[in-house]
Structure 1
Amino acid sequence: MGVLALAEPAYAGEQPGNTQGSNTEQSGGGDGSGIYATARITYSGSVAKGGGRGNVTSADVNWTPPPCWYAPFLGAKDFKKLMSKDIESQMNTPGIGGTAGAALSELKRHYEDDYGWTDTPGYKDYNVENDGKGMFWAAVENPDEPDILKRSSCNDLPFWVENGEAPPPQHEEAITPEILAALAYQHMQLPDTKVTLAPEGTTKVNLPTWAWLDKAVFDEVQATAALNVPGFNIQATTTAKPVALKLEPGTKDADTYPASGECAINADGSIGEPYAKGKADETPPCGLRYLRSSGNGTYKLRATITWEIAWTGTGGAGGDLPNGTFGAEQDITVQEIQSINR
């Protein structure tokens, strides 16, 4: 059976409203009768401004955040008010009949007259006798999912969940700490760290250029996603730790150190080694060497940091998420001089 198209969205809105590095609290309001506003996922820690999608990119091209999920929506009385009004308005619309009219009639029986299907129990009078003891759950579309078919794939009718109880097992996409962890990952804002170079900006053909990142500007990042409504409170925190730096010179006429271009993290949390006087002829542990002049232009050196990402959540849940990457480009001028004294 298809999902009823409510006059007001039946989606528990994922509407973050915080800025990077800030803590926010957005909770559903109530009037003391078990009627609560649409549940919202809140974000805190280092997340994209406005709660929008962050700048971390999964190193696993097959990984995507959840396109949709089910979350607490409304208390019984408020759900009845919304649904009964919408069903009546659609049934009274001229031209509604046949299959559409039958579906609306069936839906009305489902919520009013205890009419159910396999694994889908019906309700009497929208379950208002249990108002305050639970909530109806409804589908949520991830606004950052570009594929509308995936985004709308959670098409079960709104269903009732008692406070403190787990959603029925047939609703596999019900919100969990793991889903929250994936959403925190999706919104995570990583620092835009510029790699330190020596020489900086302008170097010479065949001269080793040293590259490094100090631990002081290269530390772990955390982001938290939480959902808190009466009878249901869960959260998850993702932690990103830098583990490697990859250098891409911007031209094939260059060597990288090491040859893979991937510089591992040091024991003290730094990457590479700062250049010191007298090391001009040494091979840097992390760096590169250009073999051809950039002429009147520049090369685009891209430095990409790989972040190892794990999560912990409510009830001791936790695990690993795909490594994340974030990179930036720097203009490098390479001059046609064979050697230089430092």
Structure 2
Amino acid sequence: MYGLTLRRVLAASFCLTAVVVPAAAASADDKSRGSTFGGFKDGKAETGAGGSREVTYSGNGSAGNKGGGGNLSVPVGNWSPPPCWYAPTYTPKELKEKVDASPYSLTGRAPNNGRLKQEMDQDIRHMYSEGEYKDFNLKKQGEGKFWAAVPNPNEKDAAKRESCTRLPFWVKNGERPDDVENAISPEILSKLAYAQITVPETRVELNPKDKQTVNLPTWVWLDKGRYRPLSVKASVDLGGGEEIWARTTVTPDSLKLDPGTENATVHPESGECAIKGDGSIGSPYKKGSGKKAPPCGVTYLRATQGGGTYTLSSTLTWKASWEGSDGAGENDLPTGEFGGQQDVTVQEIQSIN
């Protein structure tokens, strides 16, 4: 037990400083369905000191997000990005500087937190100066890097963030340690990229545009230009001109409608409007359609009362896929959702026969 605790503390001392990034805002309905992750700020990934140093993000994953929106919600317990990973972090000079900067190394005596800290400092120094590595591999400067644990800045559970307990280890430029669990890989990068994608708020187009009418179908559709595939590429430089990467793409798949009242009929009956071959969901009203049932829409059966409204909820489902630098690519990332709400006023038109 002591050995495991010591190992955790030693490894934690090498973890890159992480800044927890709050997830982008989502509706209360979205939050009830699952967890949200990560985010972009001004088009750049906001991942904290550790993530931004070791993982580079690019792509259009924040496109169309000016009017609200956020990260995709996935079912609770179904999936989450890794809480930590190992990545190329320190050159020999940087590692030596970090060890030399410890309180015990600087003062030559035990700091206020006692004998255990002194012993840990001594163990670390011996490992990299006289033990497994000689003089911090300074003679190999430029030939590789020490890989170290990187906590996921978006992981809220501190214990999970610190669960990568291996001390920094040497890897040559251009190589990746296949035998180390949680060593950064295209698969891990695909999950990190997924967590960075932000989608626009789901807001449907309606016809009639303003007030709806009892028993008159309301046609519903999405602006195809706004709701289009989005992707983020996450990459890590292995040195020596080698890079590993993964590109994750999410694509609109279906739209679910909830009219906000039992006194309504949804179209289709399932309330779920599938994406069509041209990438559109739903159809704008066409003159002459009259009281035809729309391919996607709602027919309200009772007017709103006393100046009140119904809350029309629309949830867009996005399918995810990824491809990696090693030729890997799966559709094993979870389907995500993002919703939105609109107030709808329904009137009843009286007619005299």
Bin for the TM-score computed over the shorter chain: 0.7 to 0.9
Distance 2:100 2:254 in 1: 56
CA RMSD of aligned residues (A): 3.0
* In the alignment, structure 1 residue 258 sits paired with structure 2 residue 241: no
1:63-84 Cα distance to aligned partner (Å, 9 max, x none): 1111111111111122112213
Change (3 A) 1:92 1:98: closer
Residue aligning to 1:242: 252
Q: TM-score, normalised by structure 2?
A: 0.79
Task: Return the match for 1:103 from 103, 106, 120.
Answer: 120
The residue aligned with 2:3 is none
Work out whether 1:80 is the aligned partner of 2:96: yes
- Give 1:316 shift: 1.2
Q: Does 1:333 align with 2:341?
A: no
1:12-63, Cα deviation, whole Å (9 max, x unpaired) = 769998633x79xxxxxxxxxxxxxx943222222349xxxx8232433321
CA–CA separation in structure 2 for the residues paired with 1:94 and 1:44: 43
Kindly indicate whether the alpha-carbon contact (under 8 Å) linking 2:70 and 2:200 is maintained by their aligned counterparts in 1. no
Taking the aligned partners of 1:339 and 1:69, their CA distance within structure 2 comes to 69
SS in 2 for 1:305: strand
Partner of residue 11, structure 1 = 16
TM-score, normalised relative to structure 1: 0.81
Following superposition, the deviation at residue 95 of structure 1 comes to 4.5
Give the Cα separation in 2 of the matches to 1:91 and 1:280. 87
What is the CA–CA distance in structure 1 between the aligned matches of 2:262 and 2:152, rounded to whole Å? 40
* Equivalent position of 2:167 in the other structure: 157
3-state SS in 2 of match to 1:317: coil
1:102 alignment partner AA: E
Q: Deviations over 1:166-215 (max 9, x none)?
A: 2251x311111122211111111223353111112311222211111253
User: SS state of the match for residue 164, structure 1?
Assistant: coil
Q: Which residue in 2 is equivalent to 1:92?
A: 109
Are the equivalent residues in 1 in contact too, given 2:233–2:245 (CA < 8 A)? yes
Report if the CA contact (8 A) 2:11-2:164 is conserved: no
Cα 1:303/1:17, change in 2 over 3 Å? closer
Cα distance in 2 for partners of 1:195, 1:327 equals: 10
Structure 2 CA distance for aligned equivalents of residues 141 and 131 of structure 1: 25
In the alignment, what sits opposite 1:138? 148
| Letter of the structure 2 residue corresponding to residue 332 of structure 1 | V
Contact 2:255 2:281 in 1 (8 A): yes
Spell out, residue by residue over 1:64-115, the C-alpha distance to the aligned partner (whole angstroms, 9 max, x if none). 111111111111122112213315147624455544433332222222221x
Corresponding residue number in structure 1 for 2:232: 223
Matching residue's letter, 1:19: D
Q: Does 1:40 align with 2:84?
A: no
Cα deviation code 1:121-155 (max 9, x no counterpart) = x2222122222111011111111112222122112
Correspondence 1:202-217 to 2 at 5 A: 202-217=211-226
2:71 corresponds, among 39, 47, 56, to: 56
Q: Does 1:289 align with 2:304?
A: no
Correspondent of 2:311 among 294, 300, 320: 300
**Structure 2 residue 191 is the aligned partner of structure 1 residue 194:** no
- Whether the 8 Å contact between 2:40 and 2:198 is mirrored in structure 1 is no
For the residue of structure 1 that corresponds to 2:221, the secondary structure is: strand
Give me the identity figure in percent.
46
Gaps of 5+ in 1: 24-37, 115-121
Rate the CA distance shift 1:95–1:42 in 2: closer, same or farther, 3 A. closer
Code of the residue aligned with 1:110 in structure 2: it is M
In the superposition, relative to structure 1, how do residues 281 and 18 fare at CA in structure 2: closer, same or farther (>3 Å)? closer
Contact 2:204 2:223 in 1 (8 A): no
Distance 1:94 1:5 in 2: 19
Cα contact 2:174–2:243 (8 A) shared by 1: no
Amino acid at match of 1:327: G
Q: Is the 8 A contact 2:11 2:166 kept in 1?
A: no
Partner of 1:173: 182
Q: Which amino acid aligns with 2:123?
A: E
Per-residue deviation at 1:311? Answer: 0.7
The answer to whether the Cα contact below 8 Å between 1:254 and 1:288 also exists between their aligned partners in 2 is: yes
Q: What are structure 2's unaligned runs of at least 5 residues? A: 1-6, 22-38, 46-51, 64-68
Specify the code of the residue in structure 1 equivalent to 2:345.
T
Letter of the 1:46 counterpart = N
